[in-house]
A and B are shown apart, each in its own frame.
Chain A
């Protein structure tokens, strides 16, 4: 059932590309129905997989002479992330309802990207995973370069090159692991049991982990993220923050930690308290959390605030992975889901609901517009999204970040303390953005007063796709926050098996 998410998305992309030009309505409805259909399959697969371990979905030899299989499978982690992808895809289409320029091409690239993302989450063959991972690069580039806004060509190229360099590092690691294990198979399950030499894992782990972590926005390789997010059209920044950054984090977990567990072993010496790759990456994650939050506090562009907040929140994911204990890694996976939903919502509000009406994202200009009065829906949606993003109890972010912090405390208490600073700053920047963008008392500009009663100056009314999207995403975050067991019951056994080494 889950495999159909991939096939549907790619088939949808192909059909979109062939749809007649100049019929945006058709392209929109078609894309939405494909995405909803894929989401239904994702939900179905999630429901059917509850209480199940790893299930092989498809396994056919692809390149027999090299032992490469078209091997799709799902465990708890995959199912949760596929579900996230489905939600983000539907929401992204709802929030790009107003794309009028080359609409069918837009949705063709969009669905191709989604198909690649589904594919990564479901691949249990390292090679296949890599293929899907690279497939996702090209549509991202075109989505940003053609339909983006601020410095779009720069942002798109930067993103494409960062992704490609990251995937080049992964490819080197893939080739090395494949040949070191005897060139028999690229199946992840096989490689995880192949007993790769410890010395080999020691250098291959950081290579592969860094390669994936570039896409997860790990400091100091995060710089593509803010520029890319800001340049991207709303739907693409929702996908970038919502699912594409998760591709990187998922790769770190599924490939980095699963295949090269000994890469995290202590080096046997320590230098200013750093004694293993685990320490190195944990420190980078903590720096990312604090640095992202501090930089977000200083932004003048509303979208940059959200862009840097993503860097900060993804730091929690990486920190959770580096705790290497059950609760921390479970928290990391839940944080992937939670951040995917919340970041999608935040970008939708900033990019679609606010920017497409006000045509500015500068906080200083938004201050003069009294948006809380003129766009109450947007203001309240942002209040909810902001609370979720700050990690208030009752939202998914709370459960996830709490678990990561507990896991980090078990591993090394000072990681938790440092990351806690990030949370406090997180409250500050969200509050600041909320206050400045929506609830400011600053006197309106003369220009604004002049046109206050001009009907042409009225902001366009909120449309139904926007309401649907906001309700859907906020509802999911709230539901998971109130009843986290629905995801945790699926994630926990999979994490346990993965940390134990081989999986079931």
Chain B
């Protein structure tokens, strides 16, 4: 490794950091006297431009990963590139939603923190080493804590940030503790070596330490994706954070964390597939005198990790959907629905295959979910500005107060519920088809049936919102106005949800184009 390699491998992150500094300089240096509106617009547009620059950097970077000796620190290409592109596009969209917001006077700082957090997201998506993973996670998380607290005049925002921070700090500690056990077991921090090392260790006898480590890691990462039982922060944070920040947490942070989970799962499986291909390697690993383990019984990560994910997934699907039924705040409703969606994705991670089938289905799901949920938060923020609340009742009569916004809400929520021909339906179908074609048997089938049944439940709470927007009589019929930029962004998102739903092959072939032929 030399500095040229390092620079090349981290070109997109560097672009984001430079953009962040640039935003700060422009906002604090040149626009100190300017009106708040101008500053917000300039900062948001500069930030979006920074994301564009990072996208370009991603293009010219090619498939340059970062290696240290034989160890891979940052991967590149294939699903990593898809996730990174997704992160940058979604970040730009959340920044554009900022233009309509009034929660802060410090537009420049906000945008800078978003960009730095996004850089953390890029690192997580590519990381192949325990330490790099942890650094990336912290970079992202610290940004998110700040963003949650950004509405300084709102007590809710501070409360949400405090809760998020305390839970987050705790889970980071668990994660690090788990990582330290893994290091102790395998003697390395590089993921492939960790998997190899734990495999060797467990062939010689089950190690409770490994399971302890896995549970701790599951706690740390389960927190990031808001999987039950590590989900407690989500409803409060979604409710208290400023809308653009909540949209960022719900989309970008999720994409990055799921990309990390894909990395862990595929590294595990890749290692095992190589093992099966080269039987000799197995014989070398296992010292003389130890009986050769029969092929179906696999050791190390393979046995425990999917089971852990399965438990998280089942709990999230059930609790997320049932708890959402009882919500009267739309943001909390979205938080519980996010927990449920995380449950569906974890199902596909639990029944994973190294071939791009599972990875692509997960990416398809998380990217489209991120897009939809940004739109949903956009609508919520517009309504909040007009009515001062995100209660279900503030959506009353929306079809009269702003027909376009109501139409956008209709499309996005039906997509979240998984109604065809919207993109959410294809994402679910893709995901469940991947689970069933990867693993036959009663367990995956029962879990898919549970997931589909639970998404039938979810229609109820999405319809509760739509019912207020379209069916029930309005209390107040004054029109709600939205900033033209917000309107354009939201309409574009809704149009994308419809178009990708009608032509699902578009996104699939786009994802597939990142793989070498």
**Do A and B originate from a single complex?**
yes
Residues on A lying within 8 angstroms of B by beta carbon are 61-66, 127, 130-131, 134-135, 137-138, 141-142, 145-146, 153, 156-157, 160-161, 164-165, 167-168, 171-172, 175-176, 178-179, 183
Contact string against A for B residues 418-448, beta-carbon threshold 8 Å, 1 for contact and 0 otherwise:
0111000110011011001100100001001
List chain A residues, Cβ under 8 A from B463. Answer: 141, 157, 160
Q: Establish whether residues B420 and A135, one from each chain, have CB atoms under 8 Å apart when the complex forms.
A: yes
Q: Kindly list 14 other residue pairs between chains A and B, CB separation below 8 angstroms, not including A65-B512, A157-B463.
A: A62-B504, A62-B505, A63-B508, A145-B471, A153-B467, A160-B459, A161-B456, A161-B460, A164-B459, A168-B452, A168-B455, A175-B432, A179-B437, A183-B437
Q: Does residue B414 face the partner (Cβ distance < 8 Å to A)?
A: yes
List chain B residues, Cβ under 8 A from A160. Answer: 459, 463
Interface size class of B (residues with CB under 8 A): 20 to 34
Nearest CB of A to B253, in Å? 29
List chain B residues, Cβ under 8 A from A165. Answer: 453, 456
Nearest CB of A to B260, in Å? 26
Task: Give B456's nearest chain A residue, CB to CB.
Answer: A168
List chain B residues, Cβ under 8 A from A183. Answer: 433, 437
Task: Give B450's nearest chain A residue, CB to CB.
Answer: A172
Nearest CB of A to B434, in Å? 10
Q: Establish whether residues A179 and B440, one from each chain, have CB atoms under 8 Å apart when the complex forms.
A: yes
Q: Does residue B365 face the partner (Cβ distance < 8 Å to A)?
A: no
Contact string against A for B residues 483-509, beta-carbon threshold 8 Å, 1 for contact and 0 otherwise:
000000000000000000000110011
Q: Which of these, A64, A138, A157, A164, contacts B456 with CB under 8 Å? A: A164
Nearest CB of A to B403, in Å? 9
Task: Give A66's nearest chain B residue, CB to CB.
Answer: B433
16 contacts between A and B (CB under 8 A): A63-B508, A130-B420, A134-B420, A141-B463, A142-B470, A145-B467, A146-B471, A153-B467, A157-B460, A157-B467, A161-B459, A164-B459, A168-B453, A175-B429, A178-B433, A179-B436
List chain A residues, Cβ under 8 A from B285. Answer: none
Q: A161-B459, A168-B455 are in contact. Are A138 and B440 (CB under 8 A)?
A: no
Q: Does residue B449 face the partner (Cβ distance < 8 Å to A)?
A: yes
Residues on B lying within 8 angstroms of A by beta carbon are 414, 419-421, 425-426, 429-430, 432-433, 436-437, 440, 445, 448-449, 452-453, 455-456, 459-460, 463, 467, 470-472, 504-505, 508-509, 512
List chain A residues, Cβ under 8 A from B508. Answer: 63, 65
| Interface core residue of A66, A160, A161 (most chain B CB under 10 Å) | A66
Q: Establish whether residues A137 and B419, one from each chain, have CB atoms under 8 Å apart when the complex forms.
A: yes
Q: Which of these, B425, B433, B472, B504, contacts A134 with CB under 8 Å? A: B425
Q: Establish whether residues A146 and B470, one from each chain, have CB atoms under 8 Å apart when the complex forms.
A: yes
Q: Establish whether residues A134 and B449, one from each chain, have CB atoms under 8 Å apart when the complex forms.
A: no
Q: How far, in whole Å, are A178 and B448 apart by their CA atoms in the complex?
A: 14
Q: Establish whether residues B471 and A63, one from each chain, have CB atoms under 8 Å apart when the complex forms.
A: no
Q: Establish whether residues B456 and A175, one from each chain, have CB atoms under 8 Å apart when the complex forms.
A: no
Q: Establish whether residues B504 and A63, one from each chain, have CB atoms under 8 Å apart when the complex forms.
A: yes
Q: Establish whether residues A172 and B471, one from each chain, have CB atoms under 8 Å apart when the complex forms.
A: no
Q: How far, in whole Å, are A153 and B426 apart by their CA atoms in the complex?
A: 29
List chain A residues, Cβ under 8 A from B460. Answer: 157, 161
Task: Give B509's nearest chain A residue, CB to CB.
Answer: A65
Task: Give A141's nearest chain B residue, CB to CB.
Answer: B463
Q: How far, in whole Å, are A168 and B449 apart by their CA atoms in the complex?
A: 8
Q: Establish whether residues A175 and B470, one from each chain, have CB atoms under 8 Å apart when the complex forms.
A: no
Q: A160-B459, A161-B456, A168-B455 are in contact. Are A175 and B467 (CB under 8 A)?
A: no
Q: Establish whether residues A138 and B470, one from each chain, have CB atoms under 8 Å apart when the complex forms.
A: no
Q: Which of these, A137, A153, A164, A176, contacts B436 with CB under 8 Å? A: A176
Task: Give A178's nearest chain B residue, CB to CB.
Answer: B433
List chain B residues, Cβ under 8 A from A65. Answer: 505, 508-509, 512
Q: Establish whether residues A131 and B504, one from each chain, have CB atoms under 8 Å apart when the complex forms.
A: no
Task: Give B414's nearest chain A residue, CB to CB.
Answer: A138
List chain A residues, Cβ under 8 A from B452. Answer: 168, 171-172, 175
Nearest CB of A to B495, in Å? 13
Q: How far, in whole Å, are A63 and B433 apart by their CA atoms in the complex?
A: 13
Q: Establish whether residues A63 and B437, one from each chain, have CB atoms under 8 Å apart when the complex forms.
A: no
Q: How far, in whole Å, are A234 and B258 apart by their CA atoms in the complex?
A: 49
